[in-house]
């Protein structure tokens, strides 16, 4: 959680060498849920995402497709990366491209400052280079297959493709000078890198000793020119990491930068080292604050392997949303996987959770309550009478769930937050079954009790709509309208989220309207 009222969260910027798969969408949705939560809680929130368009990998991909790299990037951004945000309903505040002028100008200023301050020097480097990672590799980061297409060659453990041996005269960043400062940072701020498993790996890596970092390339020209030597372009990671500052005014708008920075970085664990070692060292060298947090979430696994287009395990987000919808996509990946750990995707699990939790659990609850209000009270939310122990139990469940969810979201435990909210769904379904409003409706002597039961159910739905709106915004928006709450309480996204657990906000006397099924039943999934 933010240490004040500011919450600036970023996703990685993604390479435009290919189209996005559900692994990319997973990161986007997680950042979006966190930002929606904080924004609705009243925090000064900003969500940044974007694309990484420089470097050798993009140049080679563009050339292989007969295009200039800028033309290739423009096409991919327009046809694939920006549409992804609509596909999974991302409410980002900004989208930065490393080819944006605002970015290139600010990168040049940053690099010149480090050079002027003595943090950069010329040197020569030879090493193993993975174009897929755009990174020099240590020997223990490589495999040597005993069989197969690349038998006897050194291959990257992540991409399973042969590495290249590069020898270039480059410019180097004196990263080794910041080794102790980084170790002190990790010790003084244990939550700077999370989860704990990623933090431990980072600390161990730095303790082994840091080398200086090659930050330029001279064998190709697709990138930002080094300002004092235009025969070199800036190393793609050094360029890309700076997007988090260039997008919020570094070097161009000091007031905006002071308002937004530092950020919370949400990244895949495979790039946590760049964000938790190289990036803070760069910022320390420039005299800037380091991020609030670097959170390296786990991988999505398909058939036991990390999601990858190159390994043909990539699944397009639209393959899921075309059948289940964006809300179900968002709910499934945020609920089914412990955020921060690896998680396996399967069509069977997605289908089962959709039916049991969304359609039968939440969707059926909403439909039943709205239908009973229409049947027994002509569509009007009744006033509640004196609460019983059962009613008080629901009130406590709502209050506890709201508080528990906010605490979980604050530590990026999105799955725990949703599980906390879901106790309201489960308890309300059990409450309705036990109270039997359909039986109470048969005898006028039970009229007051029926009013209390259905008000309790409707007010529970009000809390659910608010608490679940960052996760399933479309379904909760429809529910909010059906409850008549928008007219009485205002727009759903304007409801103060940290006040959602306070009981009695839905006024008696408002009228509900018909509600189509929030999550229509899907009997069979035809997956490719």
Q: How far is CA 351 from CA 25, 41, 87, 523, in A?
A: 18, 32, 19, 9
Omega of the bond leading into 410 within 30 degrees of 0 (cis):
no
Helix (H) or strand (E) holding 486: helix 485-489
Omega of the bond leading into 262 within 30 degrees of 0 (cis):
yes
Distance CA 232, CA 484 (A): 62
Which residues, 6 or more positions from 521, have their beta carbon under 8 angstroms from its beta carbon?
A: 355, 359
**Two tokens, residue 424:** 């309201």
Active site residue 415: no
Which residues, 6 or more positions from 275, have their beta carbon under 8 angstroms from its beta carbon?
A: 241, 265, 267, 291, 294, 296
Radius of gyration of the chain (CA): 26
Active site residue 130: yes
Among residues 21, 119, 265, 275, which one is catalytic? 21
Distance CA 120, CA 54 (A): 21
Active site residue 115: no
| C-alpha 175: how far from chain center | 29
Query: Residue 244, class by beta-carbon neighbours within 10 Å (0-12 exposed, 13-18 middle, 19+ buried)?
Result: buried
**Two tokens, residue 476:** 């909760």
Among residues 57, 119, 133, 297, which one is catalytic? 133
Active site residue 82: no
**Two tokens, residue 261:** 């920075």
Active site residue 269: no
Among residues 24, 137, 292, 293, which one is catalytic? 24
Closest C-alpha among 424, 497, 362 to residue 42: 497
Active site residue 309: yes
Active site residue 54: no
Which residues, 6 or more positions from 256, have their beta carbon under 8 angstroms from its beta carbon?
A: 248, 249
Among residues 82, 225, 309, 474, which one is catalytic? 309
Among residues 57, 119, 130, 137, which one is catalytic? 130
State the CB neighbour count (10 A cutoff) for residue 236.
24
Closest C-alpha among 32, 473, 5, 52 to residue 260: 5
Among residues 115, 159, 225, 474, which one is catalytic? 159
Among residues 113, 225, 306, 474, which one is catalytic? 306
Query: Residue 523, class by beta-carbon neighbours within 10 Å (0-12 exposed, 13-18 middle, 19+ buried)?
Result: exposed
Active site residue 103: no
As separate numbers, helices (DSSP H) first and strands (DSSP E) second, the chain gives 22, 18
Among residues 38, 103, 156, 415, which one is catalytic? 156
DSSP string, 422-482: HHHHHHHHHHHHHH-HHHHTT-GGGHHHHHHHHHHHHHHHHHHHHHHTTTSHHHHHHHHHH
Q: Is-contact 414 33, C-beta < 8 A?
A: yes
Distance CA 122, CA 13 (A): 28
The partner residues of 166 in beta bridges, in order of sequence, read 127
List residues with catalytic annotation. 21, 24, 130, 133, 156, 159, 306, 309
């Amino acid at each position: 959680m933010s240490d004040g009222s500011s919450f600036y969260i970023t996703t990685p910027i993604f390479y435009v060498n290919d189209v996005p798969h559900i692994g990319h969408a997973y990161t986007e949705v997680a950042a979006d849920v966190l930002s929606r939560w904080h924004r609705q809680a009243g925090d000064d929130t900003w969500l940044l995402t974007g694309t990484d368009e420089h470097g050798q990998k993009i140049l080679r991909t563009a050339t292989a497709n007969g295009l200039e790299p800028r033309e290739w990037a423009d096409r991919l951004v327009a046809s694939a990366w920006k549409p992804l945000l609509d596909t999974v309903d991302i409410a980002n505040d900004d989208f930065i491209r490393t080819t944006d002028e605002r970015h290139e100008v600010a990168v040049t200023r940053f690099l010149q400052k480090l050079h002027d301050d003595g943090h950069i020097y010329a040197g020569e480097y030879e090493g193993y280079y993975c174009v897929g990672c755009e990174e020099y590799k240590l020997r223990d980061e490589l495999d040597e297959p005993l069989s197969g297409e690349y038998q006897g060659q050194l291959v990257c453990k992540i991409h399973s493709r042969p590495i290249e041996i590069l020898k270039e005269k480059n410019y180097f960043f004196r990263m080794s000078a910041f080794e102790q400062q980084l170790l002190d940072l990790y010790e003084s701020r244990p939550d700077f890198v999370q989860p704990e498993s990623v933090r431990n790996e980072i600390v161990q890596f730095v303790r082994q000793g840091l080398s200086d970092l090659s930050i330029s390339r001279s064998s190709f020209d697709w990138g930002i020119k080094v300002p004092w030597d235009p025969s070199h372009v800036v190393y793609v990671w050094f360029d890309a990491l700076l997007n988090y500052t260039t997008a919020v005014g570094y070097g161009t708008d000091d007031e905006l930068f002071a308002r937004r920075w530092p950020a919370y970085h949400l990244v895949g664990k495979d790039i946590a080292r760049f964000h938790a070692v190289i990036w803070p060292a760069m910022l320390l060298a420039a005299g800037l604050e380091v991020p609030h947090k670097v959170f390296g979430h786990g991988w999505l696994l398909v058939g036991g392997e990390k999601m990858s287009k190159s390994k043909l395990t990539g699944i397009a987000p639209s393959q899921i949303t075309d059948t289940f919808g964006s809300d179900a996509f968002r709910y499934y990946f945020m609920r089914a996987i412990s955020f921060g750990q690896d998680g396996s995707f399967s069509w069977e699990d997605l289908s089962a959770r959709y039916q049991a939790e969304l359609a039968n659990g939440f969707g059926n609850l909403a439909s039943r309550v709205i239908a009973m209000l229409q049947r027994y009270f002509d569509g009007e939310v009744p006033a509640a009478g004196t609460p019983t122990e059962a009613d008080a139990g629901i009130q406590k469940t709502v209050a506890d769930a709201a508080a528990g969810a906010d605490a979980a979201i604050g530590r990026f435990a999105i799955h725990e937050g949703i599980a906390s909210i879901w106790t309201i769904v489960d308890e309300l379904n059990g409450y309705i079954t036990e109270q039997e409003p359909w039986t109470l409706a048969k005898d006028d002597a039970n009229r007051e009790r029926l009013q209390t039961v259905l008000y309790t159910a409707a007010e529970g739905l009000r809390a659910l709509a608010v608490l679940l709106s960052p996760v399933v915004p479309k379904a909760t928006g429809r529910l909010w309208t059906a409850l008549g709450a928008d007219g009485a309480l205002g727009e759903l996204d304007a409801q103060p989220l940290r006040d959602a657990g306070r009981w009695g906000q839905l006024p008696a006397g408002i009228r509900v309207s018909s509600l189509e099924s929030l999550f229509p039943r899907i009997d069979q999934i035809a997956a490719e």
